[in-house]
Amino acid sequence: MELYHGNIVYARTKDELTEHADSYIGVENGIVEGIWPVLPEKYAGLPVTDFGEDVIIPAFTDLHVHAPQYPQRALHMDILLNEWLNTYVFPLEEKYADPAFAHAVYDAFLDDLVKHGTMHAVIFGTIHRESTGYLVERMEERGLYGYVSKVNMDTDSPADLCEDTKESLLETERFLDQYRNNRTAKPLLAPRFAPTCSWELLTGLGKLAKKYGVGVQTHLVESLWEATESVRRYPECGSDTAIYEKAGLLGYGPFFGAHFIYPTPDDIRVMKKYNGWAIQCPEATVNVIAGIMSTAALSDEGIKLGIGSDIAGGHTPAIYTQIAKAVQFSKIKAFYEPEMNRAIPFAQAFYMGTKQSGSAFGNVGSLEPGYAFDALVIGGVQDPFQKLSPAQSVERFCCLGESSNIHARYLNGKRIG
């Protein structure tokens, strides 16, 4: 049994933070055994790691991030989405044909995820199987939890990123077969978004989803252009999200829909039917002016919500920053569209970035008994003239904290980083 003392905060539900001040948490074989205000007699005499006034919280989960765009983070944020993609992002992604370049970027990317407390992530790679495979292998070696995708795009894409359809499907199947038995980092399908995928490619991926029992991630109704263009190309499907349903891609594994800003009732129907995650990427959607998710309204519809950094649309991998901005942008949405929206409380945003996102990987994202001890110890946010509660310290950390405020990191009960 490993024992830790400090202040403990997590979100058991979306409605409030659970707070255990000046308490002990016990971890057995990497799993939380219990939390106690006073150490049980049966553990008397065992060593205790004392974090004093610091706060122990769950590690974060990033449900939408582009690892190959890591070198592009915080650059050229003064232009809109299509120009940004065509001028900077696509030329960068072409470089991943060179495995040496990919190795250097992906090692730095994973180091930065851990530095900022993200232990679980759903990640876009590129069309390049070998380079994307390296990312999977490094995550597996480090014990980080991930779903990683070799991206598919075979139409209306830059020449060096536009795949031959049959080759795209063949390379994807090789990728799935190679990594399907991994323990922590697993493959996932990723048609980039409907306008870059032919129907032959989408239905071919649907057959692979069924054969290998894997899920899918993609961009869904991210912008007004994408929402209308997707339906224009596939009018028989009725909505952007229904394209993937009709192609046979859904129902075989987890389903992640990044952004989900302009959903129709049919998009919501499909998302609910397949129990998918609608992923808010607050910083990214403001950087490229795609729009702001109707977070509270989607939650009321019963849709699972997650948070993503969307590097490099977002300029930091820090999910705690995105948690704070999810609250901010829900207020902006409610101010300008009050008839359909309301602000979300901080507790719900924290829940989205920890337990609700973490549920994609099993029992992670909380500190309840039975959950993996994937945890962070945060501190250094108190004032000398007033005492913050543990929950207040967590909120302040998310609003103005930095990686230096993370004093310890745990993955499956082992201290890392």
Burial (CB count within 10 angstroms: exposed 0-12, middle 13-18, buried 19+), residue 30: middle
Around Cβ 408, how many Cβ atoms within 10 Å?
A: 18
Per-residue confidence (pLDDT) for residue 285, from 0 to 100: 86
Is the pLDDT score of 289 beyond 80?
A: no
Mean pLDDT value across the chain: 96
Tokens read off for 405: 């405020």
340 — pLDDT class (breaks 50, 70, 90): confident
Answer yes or no: are the C-beta atoms of 342 and 316 closer than 8 Å: no
Name the CATH superfamily, with its identifier, for domain 2-57+365-416: Urease, subunit C, domain 1 (2.30.40.10)
Q: What is the pLDDT of residues 30-76, one digit of tens each?
A: 999 999 999 999 999 899 999 999 999 999 999 999 999 999 999 98
Answer yes or no: are the C-beta atoms of 271 and 260 closer than 8 Å: yes
* Nearest alpha carbon to residue 245 among 221, 274, 224: 274
pTM for this entry: 0.97
Q: How far apart are CA 4 and CA 87, in angstroms?
A: 50
Per-residue confidence (pLDDT) for residue 254, from 0 to 100: 98
Per-residue confidence (pLDDT) for residue 249, from 0 to 100: 98
Answer yes or no: are the C-beta atoms of 267 and 240 closer than 8 Å: yes
- Section 105-122 average pLDDT: 98
Class of domain 60-361: alpha beta
Is the pLDDT score of 79 beyond 90?
A: no
Coil vs helix vs strand at 3? strand
- Section 92-102 average pLDDT: 97
Answer yes or no: are the C-beta atoms of 340 and 297 closer than 8 Å: yes
Domain boundaries, the chain: 2-57+365-416, 60-361
* Nearest alpha carbon to residue 346 among 391, 403, 389: 391
Per-residue confidence (pLDDT) for residue 81, from 0 to 100: 81
Coil vs helix vs strand at 33? strand
Q: Computed from CA positions of residues 135, 119, 76, 86, in that sequence, does the dihedral angle turn out positive or negative?
A: positive
384 — pLDDT class (breaks 50, 70, 90): very high
CA distances from 220 to 235, 244, 288, 305, 326 (A): 16, 10, 15, 14, 18
Per-residue confidence (pLDDT) for residue 318, from 0 to 100: 98
Q: What is the DSSP string of 100-142?
A: HHHHHHHHHHHHHHHHTTEEEEEEE--S-HHHHHHHHHHHHHH
Torsion angles phi and psi, residue 74, rounded to 5: 60, 30
